[in-house]
A = this chain, B = another copy of it.
Amino acid sequence: MNASRPVTVACCQIAPRVGDLAHNRHLGERAIREAALRGAQVVVLPELAQSGYVFHDLAEALALSETLEGPTLQLWQALARELDIVIVGGFCEWLEGDRVANSAALVDAGGVRTVYRKAHLWDAENTIFTAGTEAPPVVETAFGRIAVMICYDLEFPEWVRLPALAGAELLCAPVNWPWGPRPVQERPAEVVRVQANASVNRLFIAACDRHGNERGVDWVQGSVIVDMDGYPLAGPEEGGGEQIVLASLNLAEARNKRISRHNHLHQDRRPALYGEEGLLG
């Protein structure tokens, strides 16, 4: 690994169809290949890109769930191997006891490196998914140290802190941001939170949103890649629809948390004052 070589990261803002697994696999493959053609070494897909998002109930989600041996994870592994890239994508994961998790896998040429299960569930997800209980993983890849979390998780800065303190240089976040009204000319609050999370940790964040109305729900379509200062390098494009958002990142820069002669963003934390047990380093 040459840590100082820039890495090209892509968010593939696609439109999965709820329940149409074959279509979603095809859509994902096309986007991944297109991103790789354009130079991407790390490709992020949306949350639940494998299944779609707006389930009627647990029974429907269960019927659409897959394990790591399922066709979607097998496809992503084959593509990661063939194209020598990292893929981070969301899928509906079957769990023992006929439960499901809102999960994201990170796969590379070596196979499935980690599966993260969303720990903060949004709205009706609470009636369908079993929440994860493990902190966002940080995976040492050929391109840098990559962490994974999902959508609403990003509204908890404590959660972003954990992989940042554990050395993540890039956080890849599959999201499905439901559209909502906001003041004209304001950037969506979802994107603003991504920017702030990046800047208070000095890490890069790639958040991959989706598009395509699904059972009455529209989406922010706010896929964005932000730098360590919290400024967007690519995206968000208002109403951009289907698109690949690409940026070249020097991930090694994210190892330096020094922001002035006397300041280091992580060492300046005062865990004892925050009520932390000192587990966080």
Closest B residue to A269 by CB, please name it. Answer: B156
Q: Does A277 contact B (CB under 8 A)?
A: yes
Residue of B nearest to A233 (CB): B183
Within the complex, which residue of B162, B186, B193, B265 is in contact with A200, where a contact is CB–CB below 8 Å? B193
Interface residues of A (CB under 8 A from B): 119-127, 133, 135, 152, 155-159, 161-162, 182-183, 186, 189, 192-193, 195-197, 199-200, 229-232, 260-263, 265, 268-270, 273-280
By a CB distance below 8 angstroms, the chain B residues around A273 are 119, 133, 135, 159
Among B122, B199, B262, point to the contact of A192 (Cβ < 8 A). Answer: B199
Q: How many copies does the complex hold?
A: 2
- Residues on B with C-beta less than 8 A from A193 are 196, 199-200, 230
Provide the bound-state CA to CA distance between A14 and B197, in Å. 30
CA distance A155 to B275 in the complex (A): 17
**Which residues of chain B are near A152, meaning CB under 8 Å?**
263, 268
Q: Are A274 and B199 in contact (CB under 8 A)?
A: no
Shortest C-beta distance, A56 to chain B (Å), equals 16
Residues of B within 8 A of A162 (CB): 274
Does the CB pair B231–A155 fall under 8 Å?
A: no
- CB atoms of B280 and A275 under 8 A apart: yes
Closest Cβ of chain B to A136, distance in Å, is: 10
Q: Are A199 and B195 in contact (CB under 8 A)?
A: no
Question: Known: A120-B268, A182-B231, A230-B193. Is A200-B157 also a contact (CB below 8 A)?
Answer: yes
| Chain B residues, CB < 8 A from A200 | 155-157, 193
Alpha-carbon distance between A156 and B192 when the two chains are bound, in angstroms: 16
**Which residue in B157, B262, B280 is a CB contact (below 8 Å) of A123?**
B262
Q: A189-B230, A195-B189, A197-B196 are in contact. Are A274 and B120 (CB under 8 A)?
A: no
Q: Which residues of B contact A229 (CB under 8 A)?
A: 182, 189
A selection of 21 A-B contacts at a CB cut-off of 8 Å is A119-B273, A120-B270, A122-B260, A123-B260, A126-B263, A133-B273, A135-B273, A155-B265, A157-B157, A157-B158, A157-B200, A158-B158, A158-B276, A162-B274, A186-B232, A193-B230, A196-B196, A196-B197, A275-B276, A275-B279, A277-B277
CA A197 to CA B199, docked complex, whole Å: 12
A122 to chain B, nearest CB (A): 7
Beyond the given A157-B158, A159-B274, A276-B276, could you list 17 further A-B residue pairs with CB under 8 A, ordered by the A residue number?
A119-B270, A119-B273, A120-B268, A123-B262, A123-B263, A155-B199, A156-B200, A157-B200, A183-B231, A189-B195, A192-B230, A193-B230, A275-B276, A275-B277, A275-B278, A275-B280, A276-B277
